[in-house]
Amino acid sequence: MPYALEVEKINKTYSTSRAVNDLSFTVPQGAIYGLLGPNGAGKTTTIRMLMDIIMPDSGQVKLFGEPFRRELLRRVGYLPEERGLYRKMKVKDMLVFLGLIRGLERPESIRATEQWMARLEITDWSQKKVEECSKGMQQKVQFAATLLHDPDLVILDEPFAGLDPVNTVMLQEVMLELERKGKTLIFSTHRMEQVERLCDSICLVNRGRAVLQGNLREIKRGFGTNTILTRMEGNNGFLATLPGVRDVIHSTNFTQIKMQPGADSQAILHEMAARTSISHFELTEPSLEEIFIMAVGKVDA
């Protein structure tokens, strides 16, 4: 499978800390790739190295199968974590300018600006100054700016931070549309439900190292089906005492039972059925959130 991005053993050390440590990962073309990790894991540093904003101390980056060249960045769209817009400029002028900078001719840039403003429903704001826009609105402007030049690879650093649910869904839809058009998307986040919804593959980074990476489905399968989701009548205090149960988490509608490795789910089901009436019983993979906490916790321990 061709790769849109290959990262080989990149390193970055700041005076006090090693921000990125021998990090390697590959992003298949046409995938939505999640770069996960707790705060300060090195996600933004990694992305900045991909964008040639900071130089890696060592290691190699390949874009579209070729060794890194600045010109290849013309095919990349980048949404930085911080909102970088000229505050005094009008939204439309700002976007047209960024289109020019990205190599579009003026008429093309104007056309692309108008298209994306319409798609992201910010046309009404085109004559407003950036500083007059809300944070979420600025976020959408910036998102449009990332896509103006129709990049093949889109790198989004925390794209949903500060967005309301409606706009989050709108952005997710746009991302899925881009995937259908064959574009490759990489985004960093620590919101697991977004990853589960969007990503084909992930790389989980902690303390500058990749602790887990690959196809999301396979990763989850690797952790096995060790969780029972159940709903039942009456007192469920007995669950924790059953053999093979590691932990019980009660929530309003569901009870989650974590099994010890190698425990027999059918035996637990029988025990439960003997004591109460069960309306729901489901064997599931661990949620990504649990995997995240397990993987990060293991390294920290």
Among 12, 43, 92, 102, binds other proteins (CB under 8 A): 102
49 within 8 A of 55, measured Cβ to Cβ: yes
CA distance 143 to 163: 12
Using rule CB under 8 A, residue 51 touches other proteins: yes
Which stretch in 31-39, 51-59, 282-290, 292-300 sits in contact with other proteins by CB under 8 A?
51-59
Residue 139 C-beta: closest distance to other proteins, Å? 13
Using rule CB under 8 A, residue 74 touches other proteins: yes
Please give the C-alpha separations between residue 278 and each of 258, 269, 271, 273, 274, in angstroms, as whole numbers.
17, 9, 11, 7, 10
User: Comparing C-alpha atoms, which of 116, 166, 123, 165 is closest to residue 143?
Assistant: 116
Residue 267 C-beta: closest distance to other proteins, Å? 56
Using rule CB under 8 A, residue 52 touches other proteins: yes
Using rule CB under 8 A, residue 285 touches other proteins: no
Among 38, 100, 258, 289, binds other proteins (CB under 8 A): 100
Q: Residues 6 or more apart from 120 whose CB is under 8 A from it?
A: 140, 143, 144, 170, 174
Closer to other proteins by Cβ: residue 149 or 220: 149
Please give the structure tokens belonging to residue 52: 């040639």
Using rule CB under 8 A, residue 101 touches other proteins: yes
CA distance 113 to 92: 7
Please give the C-alpha separations between residue 171 and each of 41, 122, 207, in angstroms, as whole numbers.
25, 13, 29
Using rule CB under 8 A, residue 89 touches other proteins: yes
CA distance 41 to 162: 20
Amino acid at position 203, single letter: C
Among 11, 57, 73, 111, binds other proteins (CB under 8 A): 73
Among 65, 67, 103, 297, binds other proteins (CB under 8 A): 103
Residue 223 C-beta: closest distance to other proteins, Å? 36
Among 85, 199, 210, 248, binds other proteins (CB under 8 A): 85
Using rule CB under 8 A, residue 213 touches other proteins: no
Interface residues for other proteins in 137-176 (CB under 8 A)? 142, 145
Closer to other proteins by Cβ: residue 73 or 170: 73
Residue 84 C-beta: closest distance to other proteins, Å? 4
| CA-CA-CA-CA torsion sign (20, 24, 28, 32) | negative
Please give the structure tokens belonging to residue 144: 């449009």
Q: Which residues bind other proteins (CB under 8 A)?
A: 48, 51-54, 73-74, 76, 78, 80, 82-89, 93, 97-98, 100-103, 142, 145
